[in-house]
Structure 1
Amino acid sequence: MSIQNIDVLYTAVATAEGGRDGRVASNDGQLDVVVNPPKELGGSGAGTNPEQLFAAGFSACFQGALGVVARQEKADISGSTVTASVGIGKNGAGGFGLEVALTASIPNVDAETAKSLVEKAHLVCPYSNATRGNIKVDVSVA
């Protein structure tokens, strides 16, 4: 697999202080959150955590990709949602890894159309493209 060059249209910038037990803020002031490890990882669970932020970004991005595909296919995805579940755990190599489950609910199309839209969105979504071949990502329709 080769690294793909892209024509950058936008760059998001965020800075972390204190790692998983600190604060993350964007350079434009739109994001400023306390981060703490979840209780399952020995933290207080008092703030958000990197996995929640990744789930938020992936679900929003995938919903956007679904919209792109739906417009191309002239499909009605109004009322649709995408839920991302991000799991973290030991990877067996002494470190940690992630896995993602994406579930789309598309109430205004039949099951076959929904499945096709989701599969095509998985090819369009930048998060899907960034994680493909790196972590387990399961995509399904509710």
Structure 2
Amino acid sequence: MEPMYTTEALATGAGRNGRSVVKDSDLDFNLAAPKEMGGSGDGVNPEQLFAAGYAACFHGALQLVAKSEGADLGDSSVGARVSIGKDETSFGLAVELEVTIPNLPHDEAQKLADKAHEVCPYSKATRGNIDVKVSVIED
């Protein structure tokens, strides 16, 4: 791979209960484990960051695919739901991507979403590693 962009982040403190700073950006925030995992919930957690990044990346891939096929996405959106839980050995992740394309029939929208799942860098990185479900939902 020939890098087009690289970023850096530094986490300090107690892992999920610490601080994270992203170099060359405005991102500087406290981390806190969610209440569901015994934390305070008074900060950002890695799953929230992953959900935000995956949703944005997938939406970009969806726009790229739609443009190449001459499809109009209109006021489209992508939501990402990231779950963490115990698996056979320790912990694992699962993702549900919900795609909304109001001005396309469901079948056409699902075909675009499936194609976006093939080209999205986050989808490529997770393929075969975690469960990712891609669904087109009605507005």
TM-score by length of 1: 0.93
1:88 paired to 2:84: yes
Which residue in 2 is equivalent to 1:3? none
Which residue in 1 is equivalent to 2:109? 114
Q: Distance in 2 between matches of 1:29 and 1:60?
A: 17
Which residue in 1 is equivalent to 2:71? 75
Q: In structure 2, give the amino acid aligned to 1:114.
A: A
Which residue in 2 is equivalent to 1:42? 38
Which residue in 2 is equivalent to 1:100? 95
Q: Which 5+ residue runs of structure 2 have no aligned equivalent?
A: none
Q: Distance in 2 between matches of 1:88 and 1:118?
A: 24
Q: Distance in 1 between matches of 2:60 and 2:115?
A: 12
Q: In structure 1, give the amino acid aligned to 2:107.
A: E
Runs of at least 4 residues off by over 6 Å: none
Q: Distance in 1 between matches of 2:64 and 2:37?
A: 37
Q: Choose 57-66 or 13-22, whichever is displaced more.
A: 13-22
RMSD: 0.7
TM-score by length of 2: 0.95
- Provide the aligned length of Structure 1 versus Structure 2: 136
Which residue in 1 is equivalent to 2:54? 58
